[in-house]
Chains A and B, each alone.
Chain A
């Protein structure tokens, strides 16, 4: 497939090269449309967010009030901290201008005059790359006052995070932008009603915004025909773990997971069998190796298989993997990253990790297996933000799909104790 997000063009990150290949023509085209038409185009394209929840982007944009005395804001989410996810970084490095162009088009469509791109602090090097691209775009009149001679003016600023996974959650991101600790807010009110500085705000993922110029340039019909009809478009899939060629691959949505693993990522080292995969970042439900045949990288297919697309950061585990250690490590992560506002999340994530640690060190007991599920069920749906769910899902799915592994450990430790 031709690549649209990470095209195979040398030095595409440079503004001149980007322009030579039609860069910023979508912005020009959008400025000739009225803002509602731009939103409509995105809506009809069926673009769905690439930040984890697959929410329809155009629909989200329509939630923004049209007549509003207060300023409105766009936050582009480049916090990228979900374990297994490493795709937005590719955009900062290889296609920053398309991200900028998409951000500008989004601002135009929603009547926004200030956008912030929030990037995790660890990406210091990539923040500099994107800043360079932003500076170049300012110099050429694509960002700033009266863009390309129009009445439309917008500023784009980078905001550097400082090491907190939770700040990728949209309301936490806004708190962080305001100069606070990243404590998620209770919803409603939703960001489009009351977001950053109490003003209407839209939050979209970096890759989501990078798709927007394609839709404007080539039209919603063209876009909606790429890949899976209900979840179309190019998608960046990060593949890591036990594969021969880990990396980020751009494919059309709806690609078979087996194709991704065996063709794109070169299969499993030593031709070992796959024991399990996590399809879309550590918070998505784990699938057994024997469950992935025929499953595709799109929202419907993965849902039917009992998981989700998430960030499309796929982790492959071969038959020799110690899954107890994997789930213990994942639980440690959520415990570490819980902001501590809600009791079920703060306490529950700690209990999960403690019990899983017991399994890891050979002290797990049979009754602990159901206890894990019980704790996870009590976190899920009972917290302010979705980090609670993100901590619960991997544990629930691991026990459901690999109960035998837990039982084996428990039996072994009970035998050792006797």
Chain B
């Protein structure tokens, strides 16, 4: 029987309905372009909803010395200088406007005593910088964008999954997607496509990420010829829950430390004093995560292999007001009252710094007409992301991707999608449903997670990485032959087939990046190359799919112009240096 396919045409097609995707779609629609946005979940429920601690923006509401230079400085330093400085600059300059825009659209942030937007301290931010709503900032952000997008002219496709991008010659032409509800298929032809599909934390077992984070968009674009960069950089958040087993990995917001929480090992030692005497608990995430890991390795871990986090000294009223979600989460899921007792935390996979390589100003990839923004894109965060810099990232670059796509779409004709390619993809997508024998996608996902943890976790070395690569290649072959019994109607087994294929591809890219980067920097910790090396700091590892398979090449990190480089020569953050000068 010939498959019934729905055909749609748009100027701008946004794949992804998290913060980055919604912001991009709002931008192109407000510019009068015919826009659609696709998401795997219901509107307003994307991964972004989970963000807790806040959105970083140098508003200077509490610390007037703050400004874009200091935010830029903190971002580059935490990224260990392999960030694209142009992205870091744009981001630091534009975040305040994006936050205020949210306020104008209806977001209600916590307030300072004089009625401004409240800002909280966070790891490795020089000043109090994170605008927030208790510990549910992501929800406020996505709800505001949801409420905004409902008032502009955008077609919103909910619970729909894109499985392949199409090209017309070299340029992007659109995608095909299936509706989760009933397995119907739809082809979207578009002049410009924005990928905003988030990260791929689900490639790991212990993760704070939602099921959506399977890296679809990055994998689809990679297959379509787009370049990936910095794939080895996967962030371990230092504090995930450890117990009971069902909640292992669920995030404990950095806000707990931001609000004064302290870390102790099993011997009652405040060990961060040893690893980073200045910033202690509020050191950058890579440092804190590694410190906890080292304590556990040295036999000073807590019963479930982590560290103690203690905020009881702040008093119950304070904790309940500042961290209501955390209080609730521990009461409901772990029977622990964090206002009365310390609790266990351990590192959890949290964020993917690497991703699609984009232009800092337009968010375009190397494929004409294809743009990317948010967690699926690389460049802003370098080797380690600062807390709060992702929510600002998705707003700043979501908007820029929407604008970039708008410009591109205005100046181009509607592309054509080759029908033979569509038919081939339809067959591939439907095949798992009719196979009488084949691999179980749930099992393969578990295998993938096991491989990632064993060979390319927080601590890495050459031989293990090579083993991991070999195992992943084997696994990739098995993923071509998965089986999903049942019908096309809302069938999670069938849905996971494509998730697993995408994660396997990106898992391989993580390993390949980690093999090439023969040093330790930020999130990449190699015990066979324990030092940060100057030469390696000058390159990003870029990957592309060619006729010969995946090829990895070093690309020079763009050098900063003198006036920006100068900011790093003063020995202190720009805001502090200026303050000192004034005195």
Whether A and B are associated in the same complex: the answer reads: no
Which residues from chain A sit less than 8 Å from chain B, CB to CB?
none
Which residues from chain B sit less than 8 Å from chain A, CB to CB?
none
